[in-house]
Every structure is written in C-alpha cells, then in structure tokens.
Amino acid sequence: MPEKHTATTHLIGLLLGTEDDWPTAFEEILRRLGPVDGPDGARHAFDTERITIEPFSLRDRPRYHLVIDRLAYWYYVPREWLKKVAMMDNVYLLNSPFTFQSMEKHAAYCAMMRLGLKVPETVLVPYKHPVDNARYAYTAARYNQPFDLDAIAERIGYPLFMKPYDGGAWRGVSRIRNPAELHAAYDASGEMLMHLQKAIDYDVFARSLSIGAETMVMRFQPDQPMHHRYAVDHSFLSPQVGEEVVTIGRLVNAFFRWEFNSCETLVTGDQVYPIDYANACPDVALTSLHYYFPWAMKALVKWCVFALVTGRPARLDLDTDRFFAVADEAGMSYQEKLNVYRDLADGYFDAARYHDFWAGQQARLDEVVLDWVAGPDFDQLLVRTVRSVYPAQEHDQFIAHLRGLMDLWVGEETTRLAKA
C-alpha cells in the first residue's frame, strides 16, 4: 500500500472535439483541488491530458487510467482506440463504446419498455428508400411485406412524432398532425430508419443529467434557443415526481453502464414518460448549462476521483437479468419496481460509499469551485467561450446574460456554504 506522503498519480485523458469550456473547467478544478486522501488512507493525485489522435499498436499500453470521451461518437479512430483500451487495458471510460454503440434510441426504448417504464407507444417502420445494397431488390421483393402507414398512424393516434431510431440533435424529428404531414415526413425520411411515436401532451419537460452517482433534474424548454433551454427553477416538480425522474435517469444508466448521460422525460400530472435517454456524454457546455455548469463540473470531478481512488472496475458486460427479474415479478406495482430499480442503480453506482467518501472532502471542493467561479479566471473563460460560440454582434448580450446567471449561482452558493 502506498505511504501517506507519496501520492499515487492518476492520469485522466480527455477526448475532445471543438469544446474548450468544460475541459478547461475540469482541468482547473482538479488542479485547484490537488491531491485527496483515498478511503485506503493513501494519498491520490490527478493529472489531466488532452488525448491526441495518432497511429497506435493494438498492444501499446496506454498511460491513462480514466478517459472522458466526447469525440468517438463521430470520429472512429478514437472510437477504436477506446475499444482497444477497454478490452485490453481496463481503462475506466465515461462512457464505454461497447455500452452505447449498440444502444441507440431504439434499443434503449426496448430495454426501458421491458422494465415497465411508460415509454410512449412506438413503432419502427421500414426505410422509405431502398437500402444501398446489391441484394436489396431481390430480398425486398421476396420478403418485404407491404404496409399501411396510415393505419399504423391511426392506431397510434395523432399527433405523433416521426424520428430516427438512432436520433440526436433533432435530426429528422417532426411532429405530425395528420395523414398529409405523415406522408410528407415519411417521403422525406429517405434512408433514415424511422420510429413513429405517440406524442405526449405534457405539462413540463424534465431533463436529468446524471454523472456517476449524482443527478441534476432541470426544467427544459426544447422550443427555446440553446441558451434558454435550461430554466433555473428549483421546485417545478413535486418531490415524488422529482424522485421518479431521478430514478429513471439512474436506472437507464445503471442498466446500460452509462456513467455520463442525460435523460429526457415528459411529465403530465404525476405521470412520467421517458422519451429520449440514449445521450451518452451529453452536452455540458457553459453556454447551455450556465447556472448548472458548476454542479456538472463538480459531479464530473467527484465521479472521476471516486472511480480512481477506489479502483472501481470498468465493466464491459451488461447484467440485464437482475433488472429483468424485477420487471417480471408478478404482483409488484410500478412504484414498487421503481424502488427496487433505484436500489439496484444506487448499488451499481456505489452511491453510499461515494457519498461517504465525499462527505469528508465536499466542503473543500465547494470552496475551490466557488472561489474559482467567482474570480477573474472563470470570467475570462466565460468571455472566451461566448466569443467562440456567438457572432460578434451578439457577444455583449451573451456575456451579460451568462454573467447574470453565474452571479446568481455565486450568490446562492455563497449563502448555502455560509449556512453549512
């Protein structure tokens, strides 16, 4: 066991696309936090590095102990590198490509329906255009059944949504009110494989962001521009509905072994309908999360630190049977199942040990983050980020807007820490 005065150093790799805001925040908070004492009594230090893309031997040993990935969903060199380090080197990944490449929206819908969640009625319809494959014409002529799109839509009922089975960022999503719109959208879908899904007429849209054992539920306004989508609102759900939204987000993540994911739910009265929860490594940009950005950065730091100091093993397999067994329990109510799912999920994320571990160090982290967010370095990051995201004529407006929201956070956080 390492001695107290010699820290074990863990190297965290970041796989990044165009973003510079959250990586800077993450690096800065870890640097300011410095070494921490692990539950083993040993001292642990953390370094971060932005990973570059280069040839790699499949037998190379990586230097990283943990990697946060925001790149591999579209860039296949790092994706294959991630698979290699997951398979060969036990590198801890947020998230493992093995757990999300095969789990697009469609698979995630199936799994959560199987667990009894209130996923709206959803039908997969075959491609509008022929698949680009020499064997298609023969196969389709022999095996494709003709189908009546109108009858399917009638059964689901209007309005409904047509959206790709593997969607993201509203690509190909349309709200459909009648047969004319149905056919127009289907004709336009081309080679995209589409779902038809019953539209939920909702009171509020609750979007949760989960990082490891922690979850933040935010009021989401999907029809607003990006900077207005997350509303700062602390009590928009009843406590019971709020718990259900948290449970659903954690359940999805524990089931798929996603460590960093967002989950969209539509709430009508006390009914919670999950509609989109395969968003591994979601957007955590300062310009979209604003007020919630410090929370997200803390949660990310806390989870990475916890995983590393406790030597949390990376898992490639899905242990679906444990969840399915609960789903199949006859005579158990929806709420009773949710309670068991929550225990399974919290167990998977080692929530009790996580909270115990951080209880002793949370105050220091809170101060580090407050001090940084209230200071000039953060303000420079804010200005730099706005300049890189918005056109010149909008800089002043968005800098003022974001400063206002961050001042609100600093004020509330100062009060909270003073009371603690």
Name which of residues 146 to 205 contact ligand ATP (CB under 6 A): 161, 163, 167-171, 173, 197-200
**Would you say 132 or 201 has its CB closer to ligand ATP?**
201
Q: Please tell me the distance from the alpha carbon of residue 79 to that of residue 74, in angstroms, as a whole number.
A: 8
Cβ atoms of 156 and 196 closer than 8 Å: yes
Cβ atoms of 342 and 251 closer than 8 Å: yes
Query: Binding Mg ion by CB under 5 A: which of 21, 28, 244, 276?
Result: 276
Please state the closest distance from residue 169 (CB atom) to Mg ion, in A.
Answer: 8
Q: Strand, coil or helix: what is 242?
A: helix
- Residues 344-363, one symbol each (x = binds ligand ATP by CB under 6 A, - = not), give --------------------
Q: Please tell me the distance from the alpha carbon of residue 43 to that of residue 208, in angstroms, as a whole number.
A: 33
Element containing residue 347 per DSSP (H, E): helix 334-348
* Stretch of residues binding Mg ion (CB under 5 A), selected from 211-219, 264-272, 380-388, 396-404: 264-272
Cβ atoms of 280 and 260 closer than 8 Å: yes
Report residue 323 CA to chain centroid gap: 20
Please state the closest distance from residue 156 (CB atom) to ligand ATP, in A.
Answer: 10
Please state the closest distance from residue 220 (CB atom) to ligand ATP, in A.
Answer: 7
Q: What is the DSSP string of 321-343?
A: HHHHHHHT-TT--HHHHHHHHHH
Please state the closest distance from residue 359 (CB atom) to ligand ATP, in A.
Answer: 34
* Stretch of residues binding Mg ion (CB under 5 A), selected from 10-18, 21-29, 262-270, 318-326: 262-270
Q: How many residues belong to the site for Mg ion (CB under 5 A)?
A: 2
Please state the closest distance from residue 322 (CB atom) to ligand ATP, in A.
Answer: 27
Binding partner of 266, given ligand ATP, Mg ion, none, CB within 5-8 angstroms per partner class: ligand ATP
Sign of CA dihedral 282, 285, 291, 294: positive
Q: Please tell me the distance from the alpha carbon of residue 17 to that of residue 387, in angstroms, as a whole number.
A: 17
Bridge pairing between strands 66-69 and 92-94: parallel
Examine residue 261 and tell whether it contacts Mg ion (CB under 5 A): no
Examine residue 275 and tell whether it contacts ligand ATP (CB under 6 A): yes
Q: Please tell me the distance from the alpha carbon of residue 259 to that of residue 279, in angstroms, as a whole number.
A: 11
Sequence-ordered strand ranges (E) for 188-281 = 194-198, 204-211, 214-220, 230-231, 260-268, 271-276
Binding partner of 168, given ligand ATP, Mg ion, none, CB within 5-8 angstroms per partner class: ligand ATP
Binding partner of 167, given Mg ion, ligand ATP, none, CB within 5-8 angstroms per partner class: ligand ATP
Which residue is at the shortest CB distance from Mg ion?
Answer: 276
Name which of residues 200 to 259 contact ligand ATP (CB under 6 A): 200, 222
**Would you say 184 or 383 has its CB closer to ligand ATP?**
184
Please state the closest distance from residue 229 (CB atom) to ligand ATP, in A.
Answer: 9
Give the C-alpha distances (Å, rounded to integers) separating 342 from 55, 338, 410.
42, 6, 32
Give the C-alpha distances (Å, rounded to integers) separating 34 from 29, 133, 293, 301, 368.
9, 55, 21, 12, 10
Query: Binding ligand ATP by CB under 6 A: which of 56, 120, 221, 374?
Result: 120
Please state the closest distance from residue 267 (CB atom) to ligand ATP, in A.
Answer: 11
Which residues of this protein are in contact with ligand ATP, per CB under 6 A?
120, 161, 163, 167-171, 173, 197-200, 222, 264, 266, 275-276
Which residues of this protein are in contact with Mg ion, per CB under 5 A?
264, 276
